[in-house]
Structure 1
Amino acid sequence: MIALIQRVTHAHVEIDNNLVGQIDKGMMLLLGVEKTDSEETVKKLANKLMKLRIFSDAEGKMNLNIQQFGGAMLIVSQFTLVADTSKGNRPGFSNAAPPEQGKYLYQQFVEYCQQQGVECQTGEFGADMQVSLTNDGPVTFHLQIN
C-alpha cells in the first residue's frame, strides 16, 4: 500500500464539477492499493499515519500528529501510485490491486481512520476526479507499507 501525504491548509475533490469532499487544515492523502495488500496492511498504514508527527506545535516544530493537531483527512484513491515505470515509456500497472480488492481495501482504510476519531472526506473510487489543494510548507511524504 502506497500513500502520498501532503500537509494542507485546504483541499477538495470534484467529480463532474460537483464538490464531493473538502477539508481545511489537515492531510491530503493519495492512496494506491497493491495486489499484495490486505486488511493487515490497511491497519499498519493507518496506524503509521495516525502517529506521524507532521504538524507544527506552538514553536513551529513538527511535533503533532493529526489527532493532536485536530486536522482532517481527504483520502483519494490513486492506482497510478503503484505504477511500474522501470522499463519503457508506458507505466505498467501489474502491481495494482484488481478493482474489487482495491475498492474494498480503500473503504476499509477510510473506515479505520474514522474509527480513530479523525474526520475523513473522500473522493469516489474509480472516478475521474479533479483534486485541488494548498500544500502547507510544502510538506509531502511518501509511505509504502508491505
Structure 2
Amino acid sequence: MKALIQRVRSARVEVEGEVVGAIDQGLLALVGVEPQDTSASVAKLLHRLLNYRVFSDDDGKMNRSLKDMSGGLLLVSQFTLAADTRSGLRPSFSTAAPPVLGAQLFDELVGLARLQHAQVATGRFGADMQVHLINDGPVTFLLEV
C-alpha cells in the first residue's frame, strides 16, 4: 500500500457537488492499493498514518504525530498511486490492485482508522472526486508499506 500524505489546515472531498468528507487541521491521505497488499498492510499503513511525526512541536521541529495533536484524517482512495510510471508517456495500471481487492482493503483501512482515531473522514471509493485542500507547509510525504 502507498499513501501520499499532506499536512493540511483543512481538506474536503466532493462528489457531484456534495461534500462527502471533510476535516480541519490534520492529514489528507491519498491511498493506493497494490495486488500484494493484505490486512497486515492495512494495519501497518494505519499505524504509520497515525504516528508519523509531521506536525511541529513547540520548537518548530516535526516531532508530533496526528495522534499527538488529535487532528483529522481524510482518507481518499486513489488507484493511480499504484501505477507503473517508470517508462513511456502513459501510466500502466497493471501494478494496481483489482477494484474488488482495492475496495475491500480501503474499507478495512477506514474501519480500522475509525476504531483507533476520533476524527476520520473519507472520499467515496471509485467515484469521480474533487479534493480541496489548504496544504500546510507544504508538507508532503509518500509512505509505502
Number of residue pairs the alignment of both structures matches: 145
Q: Which residue of 1 aligns with 2:144?
A: 144
Where do 1:9-48 residues align within 5 Å? 9-48=9-48
In the other structure, the counterpart of 2:76 is 76
In structure 1, the gaps of 5 or more residues are: none
Q: TM-score, normalised by structure 1?
A: 0.96
SS at match of 1:103: helix
2: CA distance, partners of 1:64 / 1:86: 34
| Aligned counterparts of 1:118 and 1:144: Cα–Cα separation in 2 | 24
Q: Is the 8 A contact 1:67 1:118 kept in 2?
A: no
Aligned identity (percent) is 51
Question: Which range moved further: 58-67 or 28-37?
Answer: 58-67
CA distance in 2 between counterparts of 1:117 and 1:12 reads 18
1:55 aligns with 2:55: yes
SS at structure 1 position matched to 2:93: coil
Judge conservation of contact 1:9–1:134 (CA < 8 Å) in 2: yes
Cα offset, 1:92, TM superposition? 0.3
Q: Distance in 1 between matches of 2:52 and 2:39?
A: 20
Which consecutive unaligned segments of at least 5 residues does structure 2 have? none
RMSD: 0.9
Q: Can you list the C-alpha shifts for 1:49-92, whole angstroms capped at 9, x where unaligned?
A: 22211111222221111111110101000000011112221100
Distance in 2 between residues matched to 1:118 and 1:87, nearest whole Å: 41
